[in-house]
Amino acid sequence: MIIITQPTATEEQIEQIVARVQAFGVEAEVSRSESRVIVGVVGPEELVREKLLANMPGVEAVVPVAKPYNLASSEARGAASIVDICGVSIGCDSAVALICGPCSVESREQILSLARKVKDAGARLLRGGAFKPRTSPYSFQGLREEGLRFLAEARNETGLPVITEIMDARDLPMVERYADCLQIGARNMQNFSLLKEVGRSHLPVLLKRGFSATLDELIMSAEYILSEGNMNVLLCERGIRTFETATRYTLDLSAVPILKAKTHLPVVVDPTHGVGLRAFVPQMSLAAVAAGADAIMLEVHDTPDVAKSDGQQALVPETLSKLLPRLRAVANAIGRDL
Ligand code: PEP
Ligand code: MN
């Protein structure tokens, strides 16, 4: 952290700034040029509370040097991470993985039938919600443990590893019994007690970006999971709120290269929620692969018009089958498999 003083700062003010820095238990190094004095913080920046310095008399600006996240940063590892979900590798140079399935698990027949169809269409992982974060408490909330059981049955039959959302830390032991990867939904991205709890799980975690969260906030949430010892974290861009109303959210594809530059974690894109309209999901999926996504998450439903949630944005399996060769062509064009 560097503290830039005002050109008019007095010697007394500079002494007070230095004393305040030292009170945090770190050293201050004073550099003088003709026009002003700069105070450098020597030692762990996390110890220093930036805001307590910013308002001091004589201070013009406080510039952090260290990143607020350590374990997630690209420097922390030096190379991109690969997250393994029951033998399916996601990240680095691995093939781009398709994660497909319904928004909600609705019945045993539904998830078994869809699991077979998405597998035939090229999916490597199965998604499906048993606990649904619905805006209204009167909307379908999910089949809970029964839904998890059906998902596990679909996994056992097809071999597709299962990703499912966890909303409440108290459900973790139960979800762990059935799932292969935990999903933290956009609405829970900053549920810090839940993040810490899944940080102690043996399962990988797919962390979705909150729709009002900056990329740094998403990375800080990942840091919560990593700091508890769980190094298997996937970041997921799923659309953010903007002034645009033509789509459900605005899919922020620049998140992909930026997250990859800032962190070593694999990046997943969910064009389904980002766009919210079935007709435009294929194009945005192609764009997500082109942007460098390590996996694409797509909602698929046999009869979307009667789906219990998010039917308007779900692809039918036939569309997925037709999309697959096009996704593969884009992946190949940027030197990747799919
Ligand atoms: C979902 O994946 O079905 C879901 C609820 O996603 P999000 O948390 O991104 O809204
Ligand atoms: Mn959904």
Q: DSSP characters for 173-238?
A: HHHHHH-SEEEE-GGGTT-HHHHHHHTTSSS-EEEEPPTT--HHHHHHHHHHHHHTT---EEEEE-
Instruction: Give every CB contact of residue 140 below 8 A, 6+ residues apart in sequence.
Output: 104, 132, 134, 308, 309
d(CA 195, CA 177): 18
Q: What is the number of the ligand closest to the CA of 241?
A: 1
Res 95: pLDDT: 97
From residue 72, alpha-carbon distances to 63, 94, 189, 217, 293 in Å are 21, 19, 15, 12, 17
Ranking 10-24, 54-68, 212-226, 292-306 by mean pLDDT, the lowest is 54-68
The pLDDT of 46-52, averaged and rounded, is 83
| Nearest atom of ligand 1 to the alpha carbon of 129 | 3
Place of tokens 């048993």: 130
Report CA(154)–ligand 2 centroid distance (Å).
19
Please give the biggest Cα pair distance in the chain. Answer: 77
Q: What would the mean pLDDT of 92-110 be, rounded to a whole number?
A: 97
pLDDT in the model for residue 225: 98
Q: Please state the length of the chain.
A: 338
When the candidates are 3.40.50.1240, 3.30.70.1140, 3.30.565.10, 3.40.1690.10, the CATH number that belongs to 2-64 is: 3.30.70.1140
Sequence-distant (6+) residues with CB within 8 A of 258 are 215
Out of 99, 100, 103, 234, give the residue to mutate to test ligand 1, the one with the largest number of ligand atoms within 8 Å of its CB.
103
What is the predicted pLDDT for the residue at 67? Answer: 80
Å from CA of 186 to ligand 1 middle: 6
Which H or E run contains 154? helix 145-158
pLDDT number for residue 52:
86
Q: How many CB atoms lie within 10 A of CB 51?
A: 7
Which CATH entry fits the domain spanning 83-333: 3.20.20.60, 3.40.50.300, 1.10.150.120, 3.20.20.70?
3.20.20.70
297 ligand 1 Cβ < 6 A: no
What is the spatial distance between Cα 287 and Cα 64, in angstroms, rounded to a whole number?
34
Parts of the chain belonging to CATH 3.30.70.1140: 2-64
Could you identify the residue written with the tokens 């450098």? 40
Q: In this predicted structure, what is the pLDDT of residue 205?
A: 98
Task: Give CA angle at 95 (94, 101), nearest 5°.
Answer: 120
Q: Which residue has tokens 């998830």?
A: 111
Residues in CB range of 20: below 8 A, 6 or more apart = 52, 53, 56
**Ligand 1 in contact with 167 (CB < 6 A)?**
no
**Ligand 1 near 273 CB (within 6 A):** yes
Average pLDDT over residues 274-291: 98
CA distance to 3, 6, 13, 60, 304, per residue, from 41 (Å): 8, 17, 16, 15, 57
pLDDT score, position 289: 98
Kindly report the number of other CB atoms within 10 A of residue 67's CB atom: 18
- Give pLDDT, residue 185: 98
Q: How far, in Å, is the centroid of ligand 1 from the Cα of 85?
A: 19
Q: Whose CA is nearest to atom 4 of ligand 1?
A: 185
**Between helices 215-227 and 255-262, what is the axis angle to 10°?**
40
312: its two tokens: 């308007």
**Model pTM above 0.85:** yes
Mean pLDDT across the stretch 141-145? 97
Q: How far is the CA of 47 from the centre of ligand 2 (A)?
A: 40
pLDDT of residue 78: 81
CA 325 distance to own-chain centroid: 26
Question: Mean pLDDT, to the nearest integer, of 92-121?
Answer: 97
132, 151, 165: which to mutate for ligand 1, most atoms within 8 A of CB?
Answer: 165
| Residue 186 CB–ligand 1 contact under 6 Å | yes
Q: Which residues of the chain form CATH 3.20.20.70? A: 83-333
311 lines ligand 1 (CB under 6 A): no
Nearest CA, atom 9, ligand 1: 186
